[in-house]
Amino acid sequence: MNCQRVQDSFIDYQDGSLPADESAAVRTHLASCPICQREWSALQEITRKVDTLSEIPEPSPRLREQFYAMLETHQREADAPSPFALARSRIDRFFAALLPSQPALQFGFSAALLALGLFVGQRFLAQPAPLPTDNSKAELAALRAKVDEMGQLVGTSILLQQSTSERMRAVLATMDLKSPDRKLLTDLVGALAFDPSINVRLSAVEALAQHSDDSLVRAGVLSALPKETAPLVQVAMIELLATARDQSAKPVFEKLSRDEALDRNVREAARRALAALRQPANPSGNPTANLDSNPQPALT
């Protein structure tokens, strides 16, 4: 058996579900292959750490109130009217008085301006149009797909679910939603910050990652990250913020990268995220190009 086939059989070999002859072949290969021995040891260490993960205690009501107060403050700031709204309204009234509503006259004036603009553009500014690149075609296709998938969805409260399995099902039900409302996003952030189950919190990160362009999502994940204790969840939250290129996460990443009490994989993920944020955005439009392609490092 070659190394790839042996490593592909590790899970069945560990569970004892591998046929006897293949199991014997795996044992023989492991006895003489240092590369597969290291992979097997890494798999055993991951299994051991996952089995020993403990659930964090239920957060205090005061912590929950402070967290939601922070979210409410951020939302008020995001929804605050623009300081230029008054000036803009005055300008609108000025032009409304200067150019009263006369559809026929306005249409003729607009057509004349359009014809003049076309003449000037063709006469003085004509340049050969660049051919569309593969990247621009892909971005246009992705934009059209997002527009087609948009819809108004009714949110549901995740934190009111009683059992862990019900909360997990509630989180997983949001995975396919393309445009959830604000209440559902807030509930997902609350599940990430307060749910006592590591699996529920990890699933909440995965659900929120689809909406990392939302400022509420990024602010909630960034606020919950310093309080998180599970390495798997910490790494997932760091990757979400780094993929979204949230520059406000730099101080938190720097602190995590220097905290020797944290799991080594968490510190390394924070260092990779810092390096990615310090680099300019990838020209291809893919914000994850500067991150490590390994989606989940081995726990050691």
For the stretch 33-79, pLDDT in tens is 988 888 888 888 887 877 776 555 566 677 777 787 788 777 777 66
- What is the number of other CB atoms lying within 10 angstroms of the CB of residue 278? 10
pLDDT tens digits along 255-279: 999 999 999 999 999 999 999 998 8
pLDDT at 153: 34
| pLDDT band per the 50, 70, 90 thresholds, residue 291 | low
E strand or H helix at 161:
none
First to last CA, the chain: 27
pLDDT at 265: 95
Q: pTM for the whole thing?
A: 0.45
In one-letter notation, the amino acid at residue 43 is L
Cα separation values, 283 from 23, 240, 252, 279, 280, Å: 48, 20, 26, 11, 9
**pLDDT tops 80 at residue 176:** no
pLDDT at 299: 37
Domain assignments of the chain as residue spans, ordered by start: 3-47, 61-69+149-278
Percent of the chain scoring above 90 in pLDDT:
20
What CATH number matches the domain at 61-69+149-278, 3.40.50.620, 1.10.510.10, 1.25.10.10, 3.30.310.160? Answer: 1.25.10.10
Query: For residues 213 and 211, what is the distance between their CA atoms, to the nearest angstrom?
Result: 5
Q: What angle do CA 179, 183, 184 make, to 5 degrees?
A: 55
Are 273 and 291 in contact by the 8 Å Cβ rule? The answer is: yes
